[in-house]
């Protein structure tokens, strides 16, 4: 017992210290986002800055930028795109894991080839333009909506672990594939479906490439692209001032804006993750079949 208590104590101490070290960068980013830009230039990043400032957040939240519109666009495309992508991936994974589906191995090889060989940007752009997606909300959803082969194989391999006795019993009772997929396989595959939901959600939330290539309408800019564009404009102004050797009358909050941008963009993901975390460690297959 004393040895076990010593081990538990050391284990708790180690995990606590490691957790604090992992949290420190996020705390530093949060503090720097409220630090005065002149203090950052003079002293660098500090956990206890000499002067605080809300200039970065005033610029982002109350400046002449369509931030709230971009927030709405990012939330919209993340919810719609993730929902459809998870549904397609789940159905495709169920198809490839079903023993009664013909040519499932050939289909799996077809999807595996797309993981190895990539056609590049030009065909992707031509197909997206040919579908008429430019300057539409679908330009931010459809190009990233088709399932990722890696996520597909995660779902397929997980669904292969579901005992055939469950699905065969359902078929004997007259259930079709739609019923088996949505009432048996998907509920038992919640851990892997939650995992790919997080993958797709982060992908959609952080996606700015589709906006650069296919969107010119400022009303359709997602949050990531808007903030990327704002940071680029601030950097460009600073470079022009340095090239002209002129002393700026006001110091643009470049570093603090970058940190504030990080806080504003990671917020929804940080809030969304705890709702999916439990599915990563919960084994729903245990006890699904009685011996």
At 162-208, the pLDDT tens digits run: 888 888 888 888 888 888 888 888 888 888 888 888 888 888 988 88
Q: What is the mean pLDDT of the chain?
A: 80
Per-residue pLDDT at 253: 59
| Whether 75 contacts 205, CB under 8 Å | no
Q: Tell whether the model's pLDDT for residue 290 goes beyond 50.
A: no
Tokens of 38: 């002149």
Average pLDDT in the 147-166 region? 84
* Between 172 and 85, residue with greater pLDDT: 85
**Per-residue DSSP letter, 80:** H
pLDDT number for residue 285: 41
- Which among 28, 56, 51, 65 is positioned nearest to 251, based on CA atoms? 56
Q: Does the pLDDT at position 281 exceed 80?
A: no
Average pLDDT over residues 138-163: 84
Domains of the chain, with CATH numbers?
A: 54-281 (1.10.3720.10)
- CA torsion, ordered 272, 274, 275, 279, to nearest 10 deg: 130
pTM above 0.85, yes or no: no
**CA distances to 28, 234, 261 from 218, in Å:** 32, 18, 18
pLDDT over threshold 60, residue 4: yes
* 84 pLDDT more than 90: yes
* Structure confidence at residue 69 (pLDDT): 86
**Nearest Cα residue to 129 out of 225, 70, 210:** 210
d(CA 147, CA 114): 11
Q: What is the DSSP string of 139-154?
A: GGTGGGTSPPHHHHHH
What's residue 83's pLDDT? Answer: 92
User: Can you say whether residue 120 is alpha, beta or left, with left for phi > 0 and alpha for psi between -120 and 50 degrees?
Assistant: left
What pLDDT shows up at residue 173? 82
Q: What's the pLDDT tens digit per position in 218-265?
A: 888 888 888 788 777 767 766 676 676 655 555 555 778 778 887 888
| Mean pLDDT on 266-278 | 70
Helix (H, G, I), strand (E, B) or coil at 35: strand
Q: What percentage of residues in the chain have a pLDDT greater than 90? A: 6
Whether the predicted pLDDT of 80 surpasses 90: yes
Per DSSP, what are the bridge partners of residue 52? 35
Query: Which pLDDT score, from 0 to 100, does residue 248 have?
Result: 53
Q: What is the mean pLDDT of residues 27-47?
A: 83
How sure is the predictor about 77, in pLDDT bands with cuts at 50, 70 and 90?
A: very high
pLDDT tops 70 at residue 278 = no
Position 224 scores a pLDDT of 84
Section 125-150 average pLDDT: 84
Give the model's pLDDT for residue 59.
78
pLDDT at 21: 87
- The percent of residues in the chain predicted with pLDDT above 70, rounded, is 84
pLDDT > 70? residue 95: yes
Can you tell me the distance from the alpha carbon of 121 to that of 104, in angstroms, rounded to the nearest whole number? 29
């Amino acid at each position: 017992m004393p040895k076990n208590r010593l081990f538990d104590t050391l284990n708790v101490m180690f995990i606590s210290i490691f957790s604090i070290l992992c949290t420190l960068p996020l705390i530093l980013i949060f503090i720097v986002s409220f630090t005065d830009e002149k203090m950052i230039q003079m002293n660098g990043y500090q956990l206890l800055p000499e002067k605080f400032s809300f200039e970065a957040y005033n610029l982002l939240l109350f400046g002449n930028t369509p931030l709230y519109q971009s927030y709405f666009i990012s939330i919209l495309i993340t919810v719609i795109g993730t929902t459809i992508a998870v549904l397609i991936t789940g159905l495709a994974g169920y198809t490839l894991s079903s023993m009664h589906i013909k040519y499932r191995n050939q289909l799996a090889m077809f999807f595996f080839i797309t993981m190895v060989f990539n056609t590049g940007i030009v065909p992707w752009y031509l197909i997206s333009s040919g579908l008429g997606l430019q300057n539409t909300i679908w330009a931010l959803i459809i190009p990233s909506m088709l399932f990722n082969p890696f996520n597909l194989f995660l779902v397929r391999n997980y669904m292969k672990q579901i005992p055939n006795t469950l699905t065969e019993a359902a078929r004997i009772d007259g259930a079709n594939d739609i019923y088996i997929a949505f009432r048996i396989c998907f509920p038992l595959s919640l851990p892997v479906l939650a995992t790919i939901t997080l993958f797709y959600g982060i992908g959609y939330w952080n996606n700015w490439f589709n906006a650069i290539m296919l969107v010119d309408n400022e009303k359709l800019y997602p949050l990531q692209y808007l903030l990327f564009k704002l940071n680029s404009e601030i950097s460009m102004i600073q470079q022009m001032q340095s090239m002209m050797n002129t002393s700026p009358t006001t110091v643009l909050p470049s570093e603090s804006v970058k940190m504030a941008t990080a806080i504003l963009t990671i917020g929804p993901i940080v809030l969304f993750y705890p709702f999916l975390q439990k599915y990563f460690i919960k084994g729903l297959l245990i006890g699904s079949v009685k011996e």
